[in-house]
């Protein structure tokens, strides 16, 4: 067993305890996919926490050895990463909450309270098992397409594990997209991993994905087109200003409402060509899901959910962007700038930038 192998097993365990505590209060993440005018795809997601994640960008090369977590201190599923990837971690740990690999496969963890039902550890082969927080790392390191993930999930088990000091099993579901534009959602229900094709490329949180699809039927009259005036009893009733086609779109931050808004915005924007124009377009869409600190409060306690960071992944160019609560400037990480066969993992902190630069005017 190599030193690198031992190192990654240790950080898997350390990150688990952190993510379990941090995501206990996180219920407001939103993700979506936008098609470009030249048939590319750009992904965006927000990450909400009621606990300071202190994320850094992590870039992992090919060939790293991983061992996942199984029950009772046993070794879980082991793999060697096939692809280099970039993503967001927590507390310097290479556990992906969100990330993209060199083939354009992008995915993330989303909170799924009240519905996640993992395989009981006693019913799973340890050599096929992993903890809920390890699933995205496993997928992004190993697969190029969502079809490959769909085929592989039959041979793995995500087991319900509670870490010391956490007090509960973290409830997650997962979203993945690939360079062809295919999207899937994977949800642990009934002790198994249920895979849904995702024609809209959107995911939020609970309830289950199929429930969200059914809920779309409540909004079939929504449209980006303004509504004509209405004639009633010989009188003309005009609408107020612009946006009358979206009248009735839910504006609250609950998962069902965010799901509807994410579909509405991502499916109706005028597409831009692949590259920075599409990145900016997705950034504008994601701004609609930004949650300022204090606007969502728990019934008890003082840990308020807020948008700690937002990522945008340009799948066509292999460029991953991130901005944070205190630094609203997108910062780019291009996988092509890193050696995919490097021997070490690279980290980059995202510096806060609460002070904004002044415009430069000509001097007198």
114 to 20, 122, 286: CA distances (angstroms): 15, 22, 26
191 to 78, 134, 158: CA distances (angstroms): 21, 17, 8
- CA nearest 68: which of 145, 121, 144, 147? 121
The three-state (H, E, C) secondary structure of 19-43, written as one string: HHHHHHHCCCCCEEEEECCCCCEEE
Q: Tokens 């993330």 identify what position?
A: 108
Choosing from 12, 15, 16, 29, the catalytic residue is 29
How many Å apart are CA 139 and CA 141, to the nearest integer? 6
Is residue 29 part of the annotated active site? The answer reads yes
Tokens of 12: 């898997």
Residues 109, 95: contact at Cβ < 8 Å? no
Query: Catalytic site residues?
Result: 29
């Amino acid at each position: 067993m190599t030193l690198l192998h031992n190192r990654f097993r240790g950080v898997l365990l350390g990150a688990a305890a952190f993510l379990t505590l941090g995501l206990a209060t996180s219920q407001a993440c939103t993700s979506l996919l936008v098609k470009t005018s030249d048939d590319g795809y750009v992904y965006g997601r927000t990450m909400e926490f009621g606990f300071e994640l202190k994320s850094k960008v992590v870039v992992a090369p090919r060939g790293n050895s991983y061992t996942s977590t199984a029950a009772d201190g046993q070794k879980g599923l082991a793999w060697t990463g096939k692809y280099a990837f970039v993503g967001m971690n927590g507390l310097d740990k290479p556990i992906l909450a969100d990330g993209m690999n060199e083939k354009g496969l992008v995915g993330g963890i989303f909170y799924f309270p009240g519905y996640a039902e993992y395989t009981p550890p006693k019913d799973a082969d340890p050599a096929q098992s992993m903890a809920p927080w390890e699933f995205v790392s496993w997928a992004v390191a190993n697969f190029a397409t969502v079809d490959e993930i769909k085929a592989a999930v039959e041979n793995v088990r995500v087991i319900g594990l509670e870490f010391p000091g956490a007090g509960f099993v973290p409830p997650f579901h997962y979203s993945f997209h690939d360079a062809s534009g295919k999207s899937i959602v994977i949800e642990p229900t009934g002790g198994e991993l249920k895979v849904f094709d995702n024609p809209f490329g959107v995911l939020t949180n609970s309830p289950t994905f199929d429930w969200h699809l059914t809920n779309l039927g409540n909004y079939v009259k929504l449209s980006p087109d303004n509504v004509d005036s209405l004639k009633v009893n010989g009188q003309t009733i005009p609408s107020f200003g612009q946006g009358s086609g979206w009248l009735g779109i839910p504006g609250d931050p609950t998962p069902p409402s965010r799901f509807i808004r994410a579909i509405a915005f991502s499916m109706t924007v005028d597409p831009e060509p692949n590259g920075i124009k599409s990145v900016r377009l997705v950034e504008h869409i994601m701004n609609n899901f930004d949650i300022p600190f204090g606007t969502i409060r728990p019934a008890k306690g003082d840990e308020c959910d807020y948008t700690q960071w937002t990522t945008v992944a340009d799948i066509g160019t292999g460029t991953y962007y991130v901005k944070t609560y205190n630094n609203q400037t997108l910062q780019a990480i291009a996988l092509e700038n890193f050696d995919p066969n490097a021997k070490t993992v690279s980290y980059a902190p995202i510096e806060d930038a609460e002070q904004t630069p002044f415009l430069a005017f000509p001097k007198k």
